[in-house]
Structure 1
Amino acid sequence: MATADLLVELMFSWIEKRENCAKKLKKLADELETLRKKCNAAECYGSTVSVIGAASLIGAGVATFFTAGVAAPALAIVGGLYSGVGAAVSVTAKIIEHFSSSDTLKDAEKIEEENNEIAAKIQNLFEQLKVEVRRTFPSADPDQVDQHVMTSFMGAVARRSGLKLNFSFSRHESFYLTELGIRQNSNNTFTMAAGLTAVYGIFTVFSLKTAGKQSKLLIAEATKQLIKEMSAVGLKTAIKGGAMVVGGAVGMGFALPEAIDNWKDLIEKNHETEASRSLRDTADDILKMCRTLKDQFDNMRTVLEEMDKRQREEEEKEMARRQREEQEMARRQREEQEMARRQREEQEMARRQREEQEMARRQREEQEMARRQREEQEMSCNMTTGTNLS
């Protein structure tokens, strides 16, 4: 697989894992909220029973003891089972213990670790792609390197979308020379402008660095557009001071280890509800960020589909033009062949006429010669007869 194609595949893999991580965080928030409610339900039987009940719930998962209408003897049994725990056991500590050892949290941490590994590979592949471009175009300046990288990236997205789009930057060079194509009248240029904004928006999210001056202008424009889109969906953690934040996780002002410490701190302060709300908010922000990033790819695909449509139309027009030219050439060839045939026929006819005329002339000459011979013979005969008579 080509470097650009692998780069795009890894980006989609990153998005998918990011979404899975968000789902795990929501599940963890549900677990935390359920645990808090069950512990609160236990508190209505008294502080000692509450602590023992919470320990029972967390240690053995016996939720049935905390449902409505439970008889006192049942609670006594629970207390007997956990009499060694003692009233000093903290419900909050047990909740934190459950939170920290939750399989859901471990799954989220594993996904986050895999996500960070993919992010590192994305950075390395992007640099590798630039190296390959420089190797292919050794005389290219930084802007041209960025442009070839961009077209390679767009080509990979087109292939992933099943489009047989064939294009090169040289066809759209004027775009870079006129401030994002705003002063251009060509629809193709405006289409390319939208595509480039989407490309550089994606580069911005993944913190992929470019070197050219023109690319920096495009990055600024794409970032402005991206912030506008993220603000529209209410994304908070990815924006700070009106600019993108690149935290421990690519493209997000969010790092899971730091967030876990924050949630633990909220739980220790008996803010379990706030902790679960924070978990859900973080998950929502991650999903919004993934949706925004997907929208960038969707925008690019829309542009590529439009370009593919136009290219096919151009190819069809070109094919039709060539067909017309071929038909015209074939017509001319037929006409030339017909003309040549007629010329040959006329020449043949003229030749035959000449031959017939020549034959007629010879026949007349032969007839004239025969006539003269007959006259000479007759004259000779007459002279002979006259001599005999004398």
Structure 2
Amino acid sequence: MEAADLLCDSLFHWLDNRKECADKLLEMAQELENVHLGSNIAQGIGAAAYVASIISTASVAGFLTGGLALPLLAVAAAVGTLGAAVSIASPLVEAGISRKTIKRVNKLIKEDEEVGRRIQKQLQDLKDRCGGAKLGDHAEELDCEVTSQLMCALARRNNTHVPLDFLRAFNRATFYRHLTPGGLAPAEAESFICQALDLDRVPVIKSSLKVLDAIGSDRSLNNLIVTCKELVKRKQISEASKFLRDSARDILKGQQELQEQLDAMLEIIQKLFQMKNLINDLGEYSLSLTEDEQKIVYHIMGTCTDNRVVSWLQGVTHQTEFVNLLRFVLENFGSITENLIEPGRGDIHIVIVAHGSIVDQFMPAGFLVPTDNIKDTILYSPWNCSIDSSAAFGIAQGNIDLTNRQFYNLNPEANNMVYYEPNPLPDRWNSMRESLHNIPGILLSPVTPEERAWAFFHQLWTDRSMEIEDRIIIPYHVPQNGVNAFRQIPLYMLIFVISFVLKFYGKTATVHLAACLDHAGSPPMSDEWRTQYAFTSDGTHMTVNMDDRNMNPMLFRALRSLFDRQEP
């Protein structure tokens, strides 16, 4: 079992133990009420020590009522503070309390102490697994990750599978939204989330570490013990009995409130489970949105912190395009073999094949690495440069050689191709994660049924043969039943949708682009292109010497039709 599952089981054990402990307190109170007022001082002191040990538990429970998920962490810290069972048998038996009750109470206190130590250890193990030592000063990041892991364990415990990445993204967009700037204003984002999940409001939770610090610094327990002793010393047995009943009520209240918090967490898990099913069960391509599809859009708008994505989605027609794009990516992932996405296999590589062009609107390169599950996005040709089928096939197979690239430009006077190499030409591919400069916007246009390449890509998709080892090839081609549903889109939107779908598989991916990057009528921006990477003059294309190992003839014919504009 994972660390979070072990901790979750221990917390439920603790809840059950506390419930029985409260019941026994009430039983003790009833028996104390039958004790004669003539009990001696020694008996009174013994009873006081017993009462105090139980009340310590109730006092701690009183602190654990704030927030949604984090009382779990507060409980984990608090339960370990309960002291060992006191010696109570002889004086309390003489006072009229049964040996059976005393024996059971002693056992409960011992179990509570053992569970407390176990929870402390399991909580520390979970913190370590969540990168506690590495996060260090970033305590709220640790809070967020521990809470997400616990919610995922709770989902598994209740046979409601919600992927960890999906829960983590929701928590960062709600309880820990301040950790990731961007997106809509908090109030507007909450409104969209509530509409998406049919919630009256998004719960607010506190920092777990602040709760732990507050509990650790409390000194009120000593006063409770003193009060209990004084009650019995003064032979105020009825007051001591009332104190027991009040303590039992407080324990039950804390136990009930914690159970309600767990139930609230489960409600959120159920809502996210329903959202996951809405996404997985999208129907045919459409030019309008159903009510359920609108909920999906609201969920994205409320939880996304990428300003450019949110801005794009605010267009009504774009919302329909987004849902169709989501269908498209889900269909492509649906054909992936199980061994490629099985846990522990590692990162996957996704190759996007499309018509491409660049515009004179610039943005940070990091926009093409929008989430943690996108490890990088790699571009291959310089700016304002096309690629041919050989280069595209090398990108698709993953064996394109940096030292093997060649550049040619059409000489209009001689009507032939001449060698042309950019100067300078970087000795690396264009990594978006490593780039510190802005890049021109990249637009992708779909391959349509009127093009020769479409039939090849459609056949490849039908045959489920768009994988090469650890690489998934996604051609941006119009589905046969959605000809009017696809338009030119920004590359960052397709990558965002891919990152969203990856959350359902718990996988990370590197994206590779096999597309031309010529400026296609937009104003040339030579200085900016050169600063970010490199550029070529108009009409230049990049090629490589073919490596025909593991050749997929159908894929090569499709790429040749798309990039070379000639009969295969």
So what's the TM-score if we normalise by structure 1? 0.49
Bigger fraction of residues in strand: 2
Bigger fraction of residues in helix: 1
Higher Rg of the two aligned structures: 1
